[in-house]
Every structure is written in C-alpha cells, then in structure tokens.
Amino acid sequence: MTHVLDGNAVGDRIRGELADCIDELAAEGVTPGLATVLMSDDPASETYVSMKARACEEVGIEGIHHEVDPDAPAEELFETVDRLNDDPAVHGILVQMPVPDHVDKRRVLRSIDPGKDVDGFHPENVGRLVAGHPRFKPCTPHGVQLLLEAADVDTEGKDAVVVGRSDIVGKPMANLLIQKGPGGNATTTICHSRTDDLGAKTREADVVIAAAGYPELIDGSMIGEGAVVIDVGVNRVEADTEKGYELVGDVEFESAKEKASVITPVPGGVGPMTITMLLYNTVKAAALREGVAVSLPGEGRPVEP
Ligand code: GUN
C-alpha cells in the first residue's frame, strides 16, 4: 500500500502547535506581525498572498498587507520595505516574487532586514543555511523536511535526488538534505534542465523531490520500486473545468503511485506546508526579536546560533 501523505493534516497539526507558541508570546504582550508586499497583478500571486494573509489571521498572527503598483518606480517598493524594516510591529516581511522586470530582484532580497526575512532568501540567511546554522529555513524545503519526518522517512544514508535548482526550492532543499542531523545526512544529487538522462538518476533514488516546474515531468517509469516521492510542483494546465485550468504537479501521480511507498498529491501535499512554515518563521522571528522563549514544533527554543 502506498502512503499518500496529507499535507493539510500535517500542516494543521503544526499550526496548532504554533498557536500555542503565539499564546506564549501573547502572555508576554507580543503579537507576531507579518507584512506581505505585492507588486504584481498576476492572479496567481494575488491568490498566494491572500492565502498567506488568511492563514496568519487564523493562527493569531497580525497580517499587514501592502500593494505597490506594478508600474510604479522600483524606489516605491524599496521605500515600503525600508518602512517595514523600521516598524517594530512587523516581525516578518515577505515580498511576493516575481517582482516586475524593472525591479532588481537581488536588491529586493538584500533590502529586507535579515532578522525579518521569513522567506530565508537574504544572502545572510542563505549563507547561514549553507554553513549549517540556519536562522530561517526557506518555507517549502523546510515543509518538505517536516512532511518526511511526519511520514517517518529517515533520510540518513539515503540517496536523494532533487529535480530543480531554483533558489526558492531546489538549492535550499539539497542543502537541508546534506546537513548533519535529523532530516539530513542524505547523499544528495541535484538534477536540472541540462541533466542527461534524468530518469536514470531518479530511478536510483530512495527519495525523489520534484521541483522543476514542468507538469508531470516525472512518471512511474522514472521512479524506483518503494521510493519516497515528494512533489513540489504546482502547474496550471488547460482543462475543461470552470476555471479553464487545473493544477498538476511535476509528477504524474497515478503512475508514480504504483511504484512509490510514500507520495504527496497536488494539491494537498507540499502546498499547505509552505504556508505553515511561513507562519513558523514569523513566530520564530517574533520570538527572537522580542527575546521570548517559545517551543517551536520540531525545534525547541529558538536561540540565535
Ligand atoms: N513566489 C513563489 N513562491 C514564493 C515564496 O516562497 N516566497 C516569495 N516571497 N515569493 C514567492
């Protein structure tokens, strides 16, 4: 029997534990605040940001939303970020990506106070992750790590293949998998669009993490018997539905499920975990900034390493 992992259930459990942390912060007079900034009129980005805001509200985090006209000069975005950096009610800042072409994306990532960078994308936070003492782990790979833990998948000594080399998922995912300690210690290969014979690599893997952004790139013939398959992809493909599209992952679910011991669906797998880990990082940011000791799920009391 293949175990189909329920990201909503695992996410809900962790959100419940975060709500307890938020109560502990409230007892010290602290309400965690997350500022979201949207400089885009892309409907998918709008949807993601509103989902993040709603999740904040549900768990007791103050959501502060800012919109910058996508045609406005880049400086308007940087001024917004500067104000949020200086605002003591704001513990976490998230600028929804992608930003318009006339805005320097790298400057955006550098402009956020690293202590408020709940995405974990600032070069200081990337460096800390690579060096093995992360402050904010990027949300999606961290969510994958906790999903694997929830399914009792021990990565130690396993062959893991990450398909995709993005800054948001592929690279940090591989970095987490090679770290010493629980959730790491995996022998890790990163594959990408120039990889020769992708299937030969994925078929040998004990754990496949698909994060390439291509609909149903990986089918059952590319999965080894008994492998653990985590699908990070969220791709809109045309379909005869009310919205005119449907969401599919990077894995062809039905054929991969025939081979896998554990697999995540799309939607309902990794997606809910990503937002949960954003809440997690916001609670951590508030606890660190305000000097309140709370017990984070799977981590214990956060201290600056
Ligand atoms: N766009 C797509 N995923 C993400 C994410 O995790 N964080 C931000 N800031 N933008 C995104």
The count of residues in the chain is 305
Out of 117, 119, 206, 231, the active site residue is 119
SS3 94: strand
Per-residue HEC secondary structure of 195-260 comes to CCCHHHHHHCCCEEEECCCCCCCECHHHCCCCCEEEECCCEEEECCCCCCEEEECCECHHHHHHHC
What burial class does residue 228 get, using C-beta atoms within 10 Å of its C-beta: 0-12 exposed, 13-18 middle, 19+ buried? buried
- pLDDT for 305 equals 46
CATH code of 140-271, in short, is 3.40.50.720
CA 265 / ligand 1 centre spacing (Å):
20
Q: Assess whether pLDDT exceeds 90 at residue 303.
A: no
Query: Alpha-carbon distance 261 to 259, whole Å?
Result: 7
Among 260, 283, 289, 279, which Cα is nearest to 114's? 289
For residue 98, the ligand 1 atom closest to its alpha carbon is 1
- Mean of the pLDDT values across residues 69-75? 98
For residue 138, the ligand 1 atom closest to its alpha carbon is 6
pLDDT tens per residue across span 158-188:
999 999 999 999 999 999 999 999 999 999 9
User: Mean pLDDT across the chain, nearest whole number?
Assistant: 96
Q: Is 145 a catalytic residue?
A: no
- pLDDT for 302 equals 63
Q: Assess whether pLDDT exceeds 60 at residue 259.
A: yes
- pLDDT for 22 equals 97
Report how far apart, in Å, the C-alpha atoms of 265 and of each of 71, 183, 194 are.
Answer: 37, 21, 26
* Domain made up of 27-116: CATH architecture: 3-Layer(aba) Sandwich (3.40)
Q: Is 105 a catalytic residue?
A: no
Domain boundaries along the sequence of the chain: 27-116, 140-271
Q: Assess whether pLDDT exceeds 80 at residue 304.
A: no
Instruction: Show the ligand 1 pocket: residues with CB < 6 angstroms.
Output: 94-97, 119, 139, 168
pTM above 0.75, yes or no: yes
Q: What is the CA radius of gyration of the chain?
A: 19
Q: Assess whether pLDDT exceeds 60 at residue 6.
A: yes
Q: Assess whether pLDDT exceeds 60 at residue 135.
A: yes
Q: Assess whether pLDDT exceeds 90 at residue 211.
A: yes
For residue 97, the ligand 1 atom closest to its alpha carbon is 10
- pLDDT for 298 equals 81
Mutate to test the pocket of ligand 1, among 37, 48, 108, 139 (most ligand atoms within 8 A of CB): 48
pLDDT band at 89 (very low <50, low <70, confident <90, very high): very high
Query: What does the block give as tokens for 272?
Result: 């809910």
Rounded to the nearest 10°, the torsion over CA 287, 289, 291, 292 is -20
- pLDDT for 299 equals 77
- pLDDT for 267 equals 96
- pLDDT for 193 equals 95
Query: Alpha-carbon distance 156 to 30, whole Å?
Result: 38
pLDDT tens per residue across span 9-38:
999 999 999 999 999 999 999 999 999 999
- Mean of the pLDDT values across residues 242-265? 97
Rounded to the nearest 10°, the torsion over CA 19, 23, 25, 31 is 80
- pLDDT for 301 equals 61
Q: Is the dihedral of CA 54, 58, 59, 64 positive or negative?
A: positive
Beta strand 207-210 with 228-231: parallel, antiparallel or unpaired?
A: parallel
- pLDDT for 300 equals 61
